[in-house]
Structure 1
């Protein structure tokens, strides 16, 4: 992916906090990753808004059913992971 150098203004305290976690060359990567994450979240929110406009809001029952399905999938993965660990 091509990159472009830009100038941004960031609170000094934030820059110092980031520098404590990465070396000087890693600051750009850290900020680029944060911007990429925010961009992905913005795109996801926009998709959710479009889907809600097209199909209506998710009901509490639909949300609960989705959460239960996710929990079941997590349980299935945990069970299979522990079987794999025991076999190894």
Structure 2
């Protein structure tokens, strides 16, 4: 999903924009917003997948949710270990 870029004009609450700018610096603002948009699109897609799955198979059980949580926790731990090793 990368490639050509285009400049857009968007409205963001000033306090939010300044908090981001303070955190990432003036050169990192666009990259931060791009990453946030990609994350939101991924979460929207995940929601669509869950809704579709539950429509066809019923709601996830507590056991299934616990299993998924354990898998995600393990993946998160591996991610952190990988970042710390770099």
Same fold flag (TM > 0.5): yes
How well do the aligned residues superpose, as a CA RMSD in angstroms? 2.8
Q: CA 1:67 to 1:38, structure 2 compared with 1: closer, same or farther past 3 Å?
A: closer
Q: Deviations over 1:29-87 (max 9, x none)?
A: 111111111111010001100011111111223334x158639x94xx99xxxxxxxxx
Q: Give 1:28-47 correspondences, 5 Å limit.
A: 28-47=30-49
Q: Give 1:1-88 correspondences, 5 Å limit.
A: 1=2, 2-64=4-66, 66=67, 70=71, 74=74
Say which one has the larger Rg.
1
Moved over 6 A (4+): none
Q: Which runs of 5+ in 2 are unaligned?
A: 79-86
Q: TM-score, normalised by structure 2?
A: 0.70
Q: TM-score, normalised by structure 1?
A: 0.69
Aligned residues: 75
